[in-house]
Every structure is written in C-alpha cells, then in structure tokens.
Amino acid sequence: MDIQEKIKKTFEDAAKPLKTGEIADLTGIDKKDVDKAIKKMKDAGSIISPKRCYYDLKK
C-alpha cells in the first residue's frame, strides 16, 4: 500500500477533515512525506481543503 492509499484510508476511517499532522500521527508516516502526498492528491483533484490547513476526500 503506498502513501496516498494509506492517506485515503485514513480519511475514510476518520470521516472528517484532518490536518497533515493528524494524518501523520494516524498513519505513522513522516509529516514531510504526508505533505508531499497531499499536494499531489490535491493537484490530481482527489482531495479538497474545506477550510485552511484541513483536507478531506472529494465526495
């Protein structure tokens, strides 16, 4: 399972918007790697930012 898949699963399990630090804590992935993956996912349109510094899956 790659980082983006782990992040997607974390969003599905949490069922709420999360900060990158929270994602890093829940997945055990380094925050810098989470930041990179979030940027890629946001550019691809698979996640959104409902409010500043929070991210969620695009529904």
**Residue pLDDT, tens place only, 3-58:** 999 999 999 999 999 999 999 999 999 999 999 999 999 999 999 999 999 999 99
Tokens of 37: 């993956």
Could you state, in order of their start, the residue ranges of all structural domains in the chain? 3-57
Q: What is the largest CA-CA distance in the chain?
A: 28
Q: How many CA atoms lie within 13 A of 3 on its CB side?
A: 17
Q: Is 1's pLDDT higher than 80?
A: no
Task: Work out the pLDDT band at 59, boundaries 50, 70, 90.
Answer: confident
CA dist., res. 48 & res. 13, Å (int): 17
Contact status, residue 50 vs residue 56, Cβ threshold 8 Å? yes
Beta strands in the chain (DSSP E): 47-48, 56-57
What dotted CATH number matches 3-57? 1.10.10.10
